[in-house]
């Protein structure tokens, strides 16, 4: 059907109409511009333009020491700030061959999953709101507040924690951490089915998402679409499974995979991941090992000469940290393989043939965070 529509459009090629969605458009969730060629209401071509908030984080990293770099990575994908921090820490620890206390890997994994739930909650709010269901925004933010309170109690920060440092954590968790996490899980287990009642089974939502913009598994791999968006197409890309870090190897969890690859599948994978993250948290919360919250590290960190690569699963896909060291206290080159960067460009493949209103649903289902693209 998509091919047929595209064919029809090309016949009337001279009549297309060009509009810009963004850079200041609420549905782009940041400063991103889509140049959309339309015929009537049907999309013919989408060209994403980025760079409005390019800060040159990779260049700044060449100037900063390793503990300083961590605070820049927060500002890439701010909704998976903890995973970004962890990726750099793991890479530095691997390079320096530091043994991290068990307590640290344990707590880091718990924070990973809490961050993942918080991120998916915010995505769910925004996805509903993009499609005209404002109520979801209040429901989602209400529940996300519980996680942010846990972070605030332990580390004093809410959105970006910056609690990781090479070798461990900056500070220990609050004594009430376990109790708060348990309270949150029992609370959210009751609330999560509400999400399905409110939005997933809504007729209007279904009509606008089911069968819209399907992405095949081959295309997902070709475009490097990872994270929930890739898994919705059946591309098994979970780094927690394929190259386990932290204590994911010992944990028992499922990788949520679907085969349809449409907007609804991308939505359902994320809902499923929230359940799965709660399962992981339940396995972890009762047996946090005692011990130090950081390994003994030197005051000035110097990595051995060489190149190091660390892959981490953030809430949006695969983050790769590539550090080239020449033996100094600052890296020679740092590259971040950002998940959103690859996920963005698939939109020019997905959107043509669908209506302009679908573009908002499609970009919502890809769950883009723009600072991660621009870096």
Partner 1 sequence: MENNLLKQHLEGLLPEAVFAENKQYTEVLVPSDKLHAFCERLKASPELQFDYLISLTAVDWTDHFMLVCHITSTAFRHVLVVKSRIDDKEKPVADTLSDVWKTAEFHEREVYDLFGIRFRNHPDLRRLFLDDDYGFPLRKDFTDETRMIVK
Q: Which residues bind partner 1 (CB under 8 A)?
A: 50-51, 54, 56, 58-59, 63, 94, 219, 221-224, 235-237, 242-243, 306-309, 311, 318, 320, 322, 324, 332-333, 335, 337, 341-342, 345, 374
Structure tokens at 106: 């344990």
Assess contact for 311 and 144: CB atoms under 8 A.
Answer: no
Residue 291 C-alpha from the chain's centroid: 30
- Pick from 256, 166, 263, 251: which is nearest to 207 by CA? 263
Q: C-beta of 342: minimal distance to partner 1 in Å?
A: 5
Q: C-beta of 335: minimal distance to partner 1 in Å?
A: 4
C-beta of 6 vs 324, nearer to partner 1 = 324
C-beta of 52 vs 293, nearer to partner 1 = 52
C-beta of 96 vs 122, nearer to partner 1 = 96
Q: C-beta of 322: minimal distance to partner 1 in Å?
A: 7
How are the residues of the chain apportioned to helix, strand and coil, as percentages rounded to the nearest 5? 55, 15, 35
For residue 23, cis peptide bond before it (omega within 30 degrees of 0):
yes
Q: C-beta of 373: minimal distance to partner 1 in Å?
A: 9
Residues written for the chain: 375
Q: Partners of 19 in the beta sheet?
A: 36
Q: C-beta of 314: minimal distance to partner 1 in Å?
A: 14
Query: Following CA atoms 18, 28, 320, 223 in sequence, which dihedral angle do they give, to the nearest 10 degrees?
Result: -40
Structure tokens at 21: 């969605």
C-beta of 62 vs 292, nearer to partner 1 = 62
C-beta of 269 vs 321, nearer to partner 1 = 321
Q: C-beta of 271: minimal distance to partner 1 in Å?
A: 24
Assess contact for 343 and 314: CB atoms under 8 A.
Answer: no
Half-sphere exposure of 62 (CA within 13 A, CB side): 9
C-beta of 253 vs 345, nearer to partner 1 = 345
Q: C-beta of 239: minimal distance to partner 1 in Å?
A: 10
C-alpha 177/C-alpha 101 separation (Å) is 18
C-beta of 315 vs 342, nearer to partner 1 = 342
C-alpha 50/C-alpha 23 separation (Å) is 9
Q: In angstroms, what CA-CA distances link 74 with 7, 46, 156, 372?
A: 44, 29, 15, 10
Q: C-beta of 324: minimal distance to partner 1 in Å?
A: 6
C-beta of 128 vs 224, nearer to partner 1 = 224
Sign (positive or negative) of CA dihedral 276, 278, 281, 283: negative
């Amino acid at each position: 059907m998509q091919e047929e529509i595209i064919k029809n459009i090309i016949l009337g090629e001279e009549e297309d109409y060009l509009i810009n969605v963004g850079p200041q458009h609420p549905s782009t969730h940041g400063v991103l511009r889509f140049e959309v060629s339309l015929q009537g209401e049907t999309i013919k071509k989408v060209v994403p333009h980025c760079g409005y908030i390019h800060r040159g984080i990779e260049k700044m990293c060449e100037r900063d020491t390793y503990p300083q770099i961590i605070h820049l990575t927060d500002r890439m994908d701010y909704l998976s700030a903890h995973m970004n921090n962890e990726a750099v820490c793991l890479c530095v620890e691997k390079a320096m061959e530091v043994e991290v206390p068990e307590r640290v890997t344990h707590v880091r994994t718990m924070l990973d999953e809490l961050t993942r739930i918080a991120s998916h909650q915010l995505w769910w709010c925004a996805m509903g709101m993009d499609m005209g269901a404002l109520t979801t925004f209040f429901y989602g933010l209400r529940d996300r507040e519980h996680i942010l309170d846990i972070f605030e109690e332990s580390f004093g920060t809410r959105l970006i924690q910056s609690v990781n440092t090479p070798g461990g954590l900056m500070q220990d968790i609050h004594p009430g951490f376990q109790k708060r996490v348990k309270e949150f899980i029992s609370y959210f287990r009751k609330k999560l089915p509400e999400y399905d009642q409110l939005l997933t089974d809504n007729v209007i939502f279904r009509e606008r998402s089911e069968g819209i913009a399907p992405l095949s598994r081959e295309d997902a791999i070709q475009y490097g679409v990872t994270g929930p968006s890739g898994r919705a197409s059946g591309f098994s890309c979970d780094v927690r499974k394929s190259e386990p870090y932290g204590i994911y190897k010992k944990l028992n969890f499922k990788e949520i995979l679907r085969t349809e690859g449409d907007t609804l599948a991308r939505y359902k994978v994320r809902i499923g991941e929230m359940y799965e993250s709660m399962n992981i948290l339940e396995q972890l919360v009762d047996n946090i090992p005692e011990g130090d919250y950081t390994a003994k590290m030197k005051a000035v960190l110097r990595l051995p000469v060489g190149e190091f690569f660390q892959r981490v699963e953030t809430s949006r896909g695969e983050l790769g940290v590539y550090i080239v060291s020449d033996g100094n206290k600052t890296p020679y080159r740092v590259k971040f393989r950002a998940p959103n960067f690859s996920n963005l460009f698939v939109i020019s493949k997905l959107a043509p043939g669908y209506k302009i209103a679908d573009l908002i649903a499609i970009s919502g289902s890809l769950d883009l965070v723009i600072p991660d693209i621009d870096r």
